[in-house]
Structure 1
Amino acid sequence: MRKTTGLALAFVALAGAVGTTAYAENNASARMREGTMMRLDKAMKDSNGTISFDQFSDAMNARLKKLVADNGGKLTVAQLADALEKARFEEMAKRIVARYDTKGDGTLTTDDITGREKKVFAMLDRNNDGKIERNELPKNGRMGRHRQWDGGDDSMQ
């Protein structure tokens, strides 16, 4: 491979990686803006169409201010990162429980997990012989369109 071709491919790969990261950040920013607008709309509805600075401030950063207050008035990077990570994993856990919970009681049991496994197994066992053969496995190694644990479109639900 010529050096210029190699450099061009490397640039394309780098641009793709940066673009993917930028898309993810833009998507997260859009969700944050949407959440902020929803909180401001709610505050305005609760106050007959206008809000004071204090109401605006509460709507904007109530959770962040609570974290600061819960940590003695100061919040370190590590404390904020821990809180963000906990919130992220709690959301992930909610999606997992919702996906597996057959009784709708908000809990996860071994029966729920086994039931889900049986459902997926039955979908993969295309010839219904009680065994999954290599040619019955998805070609791309993914079971449905969802990313693992993302709560996205799951064609096996």
Structure 2
Amino acid sequence: MRKSTKLALAFAALAGAVGTTAYAENNASAKMRDGMMARLDKAMSDSDGAITFDQFSDAMNARLKKLVAANGGKLTVAQLADALEKARFERMARRIIARYDTRGDGTLTTDDITSRQKKVFAMLDKNNDGKIEKSELPKGHRFGRHRQPDNDDSVQ
């Protein structure tokens, strides 16, 4: 391959990576902005349409200030990362329990998991023969991607 072609491909790959990162950052920024605006709207509606700096500050960073206070007035990167990770995993756990919890009591049991699996299996078993075949899987699913190579696939 010619050097100019290699450089062009490398540049295209780099541009794609930068573009993907920029998109993710813009998406995260948009979510943060939307969250900030929702908190401002709530604070303003709670205060007849106008807020003071103290109300603004409380609406913007109440959770962050609580974390700082709970850690003796200083928050390290590790402490903040732990808090963010915990909040993220708690959101994920709530979504999983909401998806599986058949009784609506906020708990997850093996019966809940089995019930969900049976529903998904039934949806995939399009011909109701009690088996899922490759042809029944959604398009784009890469069945067998982790299979062991057979004799024809092995390197000699």
Measured against the shorter chain, the TM-score band is 0.7 to 0.9
Q: Do structure 1's residue 105 and structure 2's residue 105 form an aligned pair?
A: yes
What does residue 87 of structure 1 align with?
A: 87
What does residue 68 of structure 1 align with?
A: 68
Partner AA of 2:72 in structure 1 = G
Q: Do structure 1's residue 47 and structure 2's residue 44 form an aligned pair?
A: no
- Return 5+ residue gaps in structure 1 as ranges: 143-157
What's the secondary structure of 1:121's corresponding residue?
Answer: helix
Q: Sequence identity, in percent?
A: 84
Bigger relative CO (Cα 8 Å, ≥ 6 apart): 1
Partner AA of 2:14 in structure 1 = L
Tell me by how many angstroms 1:26 deviates. Answer: 1.2
Task: After superposing the two structures, state which structure 1 stretch, 6-15 or 109-118, moved more.
Answer: 6-15
Task: After superposing the two structures, state which structure 1 stretch, 99-108 or 114-123, moved more.
Answer: 99-108
Tell me by how many angstroms 1:104 deviates. Answer: 2.2
Tell me the number of residue pairs that the alignment of Structure 1 and Structure 2 aligns. Answer: 142
Aligned partners of 1:119 and 1:83: how far apart in 2?
35
**Cα gap change, 1:138 to 1:2, in 2 (>3 Å):** farther
C-alpha root-mean-square deviation of aligned residues, in Å?
1.6
- Return 5+ residue gaps in structure 2 as ranges: 143-156
Give runs of ≥4 in structure 1 deviating > 4 Å: none
**Cα gap change, 1:127 to 1:3, in 2 (>3 Å):** farther
Aligned partners of 2:10 and 2:97: how far apart in 1?
41
Larger radius of gyration: 2
